[in-house]
Amino acid sequence: MNRRSLGSRLAALAAVTAALAGCASDDGDDAAPPASAAPSTASSRPPGSGGTPARTPDGTLLVTDFGADTVTFVDPAARDGAAGLGPVRVGTAPYGIALGEDGTAWVATAEGVAAVDTRTRERTALIPYRTDTGPVTTGEYRGGGMGIALSPDGGRVYVGVNVPGGNGTLEVVDTRRREVTRVVPVGRRPFDVDVSHDGRQVYATNHDSFDVTVVGTGDWTTRRIEVAPYGTEGGLGSWLKPHYTAVRPSDGALLLPFEGERLAVVDPGTGRVRIEDMTANTHQHGVTAGADGTLYVVGTGPIDPSRGDGPSLTVRTPDGDERIIPLDGPHETVALSADGRTAYVTGGFTRDGSWDGLSVVDLGSGGVTRLPVGERPLAVAVLGEGAPRRA
């Protein structure tokens, strides 16, 4: 174990543990009742502008405003980020984004899955969940959608639904019918959802149950893989849990970073977990993989300031070499530009200490520019042909 034993970590966390509350059915596809698909009256057009909004340029960023009920379109080249594109109302406390090849963005909110036409910047549907998540609320532990992903053919959206105080679900949305067709049980607080390259499996990364649920999309069977390189001692009060997952392009392995010290490499077929060393020494959240297998990992800062390093972006090559780029303040998720030269890192952060902006990282020079954006921006995606499709 690198520098920090589990015992010393738990001692350092004793004061915060008490304050933490915590860091379904399997129906057939034809059994779902029709879901609401009410269009939004919100628009990104400035008041009084009239006319049809201009088409959204390629390279525009789309971020979820976790502190509001909107997504914001961002011109990364504009000094203030907005450049007249503005927000679109989608639903309370939006979390993850999945982008379709047809220009539709699917957004997981506390109220349901919103469909947004990114070309006209309008919400076209809000699809309610079939899972009972209680009253619609905001904040880190709110019920509703968290991680979200699209099937490779674009026919299904998979959204991880948090149920406060219990296990979550994976809801399956038919993108043509725009309704939930299946609900599958998963673990607690599904931070992230990913799909295998062939579409045969969906992976829900469950923060509060220290595991990944593997869901087969042929027969909808589930299998739990525990991913807990520091163990599960401390339970809901522990910080040492999985957050986000990247699917490795070369072999489909699941990559889950922990604490800037350990990378869990999970074989979703066998359930075997192998640990590789990391070097950033910081509490890690968001992760994405480039087409060449390079890993980009967001560090939010130390759990214990006397033992850890500050926020950062780790750039890890497929052979394990790492470059650490310091960041100013906590961040949550990361997406890459279409050419792979720029990383966009959101300042929203699921815990206290968030800020309203993005860090734009030049991956060649390591230079960082802070861009004011939205309200607690959490997920980020890049629009346009050839761009990566989700944070």
**pLDDT 10s digits, 185-203:** 999 999 999 999 999 999 9
pLDDT tier for residue 52 given thresholds of 50, 70 and 90:
low
Q: Which residue has the higher pLDDT, 77 or 30?
A: 77
Asked whether the beta carbons of 76 and 384 are under 8 A apart, the reply is no
Interval 290-317 mean pLDDT? 95
Lowest mean pLDDT among 83-87, 252-256, 261-265: 83-87
Domain range summary for the chain, segments of one domain joined by + = 6-30+48-82+175-382
Lowest mean pLDDT among 27-41, 103-117, 347-361: 27-41
6-30+48-82+175-382 CATH fold: Neuraminidase (2.120.10)
Residue 25 Cα distances to 131, 169, 185, 210, angstroms: 9, 8, 7, 22
> What is the model's pLDDT at position 254?
98
How is residue 271 written in tokens?
A: 């359930």
Residue 19 Cα distances to 15, 67, 216, 331, angstroms: 8, 21, 37, 22
> What is the model's pLDDT at position 82?
55
Residue 17: pLDDT above 50?
no
Residue 300: pLDDT above 90?
yes
> What is the model's pLDDT at position 286?
97
CA 3, chain centre distance (Å): 29
Asked whether the beta carbons of 247 and 197 are under 8 A apart, the reply is yes
Residue 100: pLDDT above 60?
yes
Q: Which residue has the higher pLDDT, 19 or 1?
A: 1
> What is the model's pLDDT at position 174?
98
Interval 327-345 mean pLDDT? 96
Q: Could you give the CA distance from residue 295 to residue 279 in angstroms, rounded to a whole number? A: 13
Asked whether the beta carbons of 282 and 302 are under 8 A apart, the reply is yes
Q: Which residue has the higher pLDDT, 26 or 82?
A: 82
pLDDT tier for residue 252 given thresholds of 50, 70 and 90:
very high
pLDDT tier for residue 86 given thresholds of 50, 70 and 90:
confident
Interval 112-133 mean pLDDT? 97
pLDDT tier for residue 386 given thresholds of 50, 70 and 90:
low
Asked whether the beta carbons of 278 and 295 are under 8 A apart, the reply is no
Output the pTM of the full model. 0.88
Quote the percentage of the chain above a pLDDT of 70: 83
The 8-class DSSP code of residue 132 comes to -
> What is the model's pLDDT at position 303?
87
Q: Could you give the CA distance from residue 227 to residue 231 in angstroms, rounded to a whole number? A: 9
Pick from 329, 334, 333: which is nearest to 311 by CA?
329
- Average pLDDT over all residues of the chain: 87
Residue with tokens 């993108």: 175
Quote the percentage of the chain above a pLDDT of 90: 77
How is residue 163 written in tokens?
A: 């149920």
